[in-house]
Structure 1
Amino acid sequence: MTNILRLCAALLLAATAASAQAVNYAGTTFEIEMIVFERIGGMENSSEDWPAAPRLRYPDKWVDFDTATGGAPLLVPAATQLSNKAAALNRSGDMRVLFHKAWRQVLQQKRNSPAIIIDSGENPGSQSRLGGSVTLSVARYLHLSTNLWLSEPSDDNTGIPLPLPPKAATEEPLDLMSTADFRPAMADRALAPDTTYARHVALLQAERRMRSGELHYIDHPAFGVLIEVRTITSAEEASGT
């Protein structure tokens, strides 16, 4: 009985320590680097049955790479460390990088975490083939949620309507600790006159638990994601290096 009590006490202490660590992680700055790439011809050559009426929607709580509060960006640009992998994907001949960024972000628990708007940036001012968002949050572990889509354009403006990325209706500073103070998506943009259409849309909706310092790969017949979340020291955070 004594051994059982000791074991229970040890388990309780371990759980308490893990819980304390999880609390300490919230509000911590991490460095994130993400690559989204397509498989060239993946939608045409795959035997996958693409959804006929996919639900494509940007979240109500979001930020993008231009969002700032108090004059400071919420997603602070950082130096990329996976450029060799991006180059290898482009050299392969059957894959092409659509998105590659590195940034620093203060991660919060999921209820306080905004989605990050993602697009390929290949057609400035117009509809990108890559759209959607990713959400990074932290509890006991790092968590990634993807809501990404890759579209095959329609030639005759018929098919699946693609929602336009949301735009901020206000420039008021954001309070990331308030679940009510994120940028609201503008619903009336979903079917705006300049909406474009797709013949096919591939969805990449996944939940992934991650550890810092590990490169994670999320696969799909049409496109995929490479992502790494790195811890940074207090000195690095203070110097911005």
Structure 2
Amino acid sequence: MKRPENFLASFPVVPDSLPGTLPRILLGAALSAFMSVNASAEVPEELAENWYRTEILVFVREDAQSRSSEQWEPLPELSYPERYQYLIDPAMADRRLQESLGYESVFDEQGRQTLRVPAPIEEVLDHSRPDAITVPLPELDVLLPADEQASNRLLVDPNNPNLDPKDPLIDLDSPIVSLPYELLGRDNLEFRAHARSLRRRGERVVFHGSWWAQLNDQDETPALIMDRSGDMDSTDWPALQGSLKVYRSRYLHLVLDLWVNTLGEYLPEGWQIDAPPLAPTSLVARTLSGKDIDPWAPAKPPLPSDASFGRTADNSGDISPDTETTDEAITDAAEELADEAAIPSYPWRHAIVHRQTRRMRSGEIHYLDHPVIGVIVKVTPMSDEALPLVAPEIREFRERHALPVEVLPVDSEAEEEND
């Protein structure tokens, strides 16, 4: 579908004071409770400079005219940053825990998830393994159907006195604070009207999320990786890859380094770029013994026997052994072939890059235009009284993944006194 010349013209707007930004859109519905509180709260200067809520919507134009409107870099340089962060996606975290039959899930400070999963049956039955003897099997309620899991899972860990449901100091009914870099629910998304309009116009929304975090200087703020292509349960080379960074120096800045993989219909026939890198992994699965495992991988085929390796046919058609071939060489050759068969092939021909840095004002909607990859963003300063709240049911999610229940603002003056 061809993009209208006056993009998003159907939205009611008022003039925007900053050149290069998307005009502010007047929402017909009230914002979420958090946004209402945030709008009226007096933001302390020290927090206004560091604590922000970010919402970003990324969409891709599918029409051929947009993709052929420019001469794209034929061999784009594509890479991921060395310092990065993943957003915590509660729905994805729970799905991975259930699909892997995992009984433990932990997140690290970069938003990477580590699962403890049952060992393959042949390992469990091997009584020479220490973990098969000394480590009792967990109560795997994840083996139950989802509706039975809910009724069998405790809301609070009974071994943790700080989370005793009988403790009158523990409030299990009131909303709790969202974690930094935790994706907020749909009710917290201000750009839902944008997303609906884009879809009606034939554009594809490839990311829409909101979160809060402390923003520091460029070198101190991690980039956010926008895809999970390096994970064992993800699609290799999805349509959208790359990263973005929101940081604060004297002003707010957004740094984009995104690319969309395409079939290269706008290029000469036969043109093919090398496969882009896959994202750093955000998911690790291990057995009780600490052995890395892929719960999503199909069973590996048995190694070929020595009859398939190290033997040659003479002129008579008889098979004669190769005396230089050893059992170790046979195993190595078989594993090499298996590894080659497991390497996925790049299913695209080219990648279009959107690489841009934009200075922004807080509280204003910005639109970073591009012929193919459009980005809408808003960054809002916050106070400790206006941190986004989530439903009390999220406590159960936190407990399943060993995440803290509450996050309070850091008192920099108190930290200095303790130091």
TM-score (ref. length: structure 1): 0.70
Task: Tell me, yes or no, if structure 1 residue 198 matches structure 2 residue 343.
Answer: no
For 2:223, the equivalent position in structure 1 comes to 115
Residue 69 of structure 1: which of 87, 109, 116 is its match?
A: 109
Rate the CA distance shift 1:47–1:168 in 2: closer, same or farther, 3 A: closer
1:68 positional shift = 4.1
Residues 53-92 of structure 1 mapped to structure 2, 5 A cutoff: 53-66=75-88, 68-69=108-109, 74-78=180-184, 79-92=188-201
- What SS class does the counterpart of residue 197 from structure 2 fall into? helix
Q: CA RMSD in A?
A: 3.3
The CA distance in 1 between the partners of 2:359 and 2:61, in whole Å, is 24
Gaps of 5+ in 2: 1-44, 89-106, 112-177, 285-341, 392-419
SS of the residue 1:112 aligns to: coil
Which of residues 378, 381, 390 is equivalent to 1:231? Answer: 381
Identity among equivalent pairs (%): 30
User: Which piece of structure 1 moves more, 62-71 or 44-53?
Assistant: 62-71
- Could you list the per-position Cα deviations for residues 84-130 of structure 1 after superposition, in whole angstroms to 9, with x for gaps in the alignment? 1111111112x121110111111111110111001399xx6112110
| 1:193, distance to aligned residue in structure 2 (A) | 2.5
Distance, in Å, in 2 between the alignment partners of 1:211 and 1:237 is 20
Corresponding residue to 2:258 among 148, 170, 190: 148
Contact 2:80 2:243 survives alignment (8 Å): yes
How far did 1:47 drift? 3.0
1:105 pairs, out of 213, 224, 228, with 213
Q: Does the residue aligned with 1:86 lie in a helix, a strand or coil?
A: helix
Q: 1:219 aligns with which of 363, 369, 375?
A: 369
Please state which structure has a larger fraction of its residues in strand. Answer: 1
| Greater CA drift, 45-54 or 109-118 | 45-54
The residue type equivalent to 1:209 in the other structure is R
How many angstroms apart in 1 are the aligned matches of 2:349 and 2:110?
42
Q: Does the CA-based 8 Å contact 1:43-1:221 persist in structure 2?
A: no
> Which of 274, 279, 283 lines up with 1:160 in the alignment?
274
In the alignment, does 2:92 pair up with 1:32?
Answer: no
Query: What amino acid maps onto 2:109 in structure 1?
Result: T
Runs of 4+ residues over 2 Å off in structure 1: 23-26, 41-47, 66-74, 153-160, 192-195, 238-241
Label 1:197 to 1:163 Cα distance change in 2 as closer, same or farther (>3 A): farther
Q: Say which is worse superposed, 202-211 or 59-68, in terms of deviation.
A: 59-68
- Alignment CA distance shift 1:35-1:168 (3 Å): closer
Identify the residue that residue 313 of structure 2 maps to in structure 1: none
* Structure 1 residues without counterparts, runs of 5 or longer: 1-20, 171-191
The one-letter code matched in structure 2 to 1:64 is Y
* Number of equivalences: 196
Give deviations 1:164-205, integer Å, cap 9, x for gaps. Answer: 1111599xxxxxxxxxxxxxxxxxxxxx93352532211111
* Larger of the two Rg values belongs to structure: 2
- TM-score, normalising length from structure 2? 0.42
**What's the CA shift for 1:163?**
1.3
Relative distance call for 1:33 and 1:106 in structure 2 (3 A) is: same
Q: Does 1:134 align with 2:241?
A: no
Aligned twin of 2:402: none
SS of equivalent to 2:87: coil
1:35-84 deviation per Cα after TM superposition (whole angstroms, max 9, x unaligned): 11011124775231121111100010001113643999540222211111
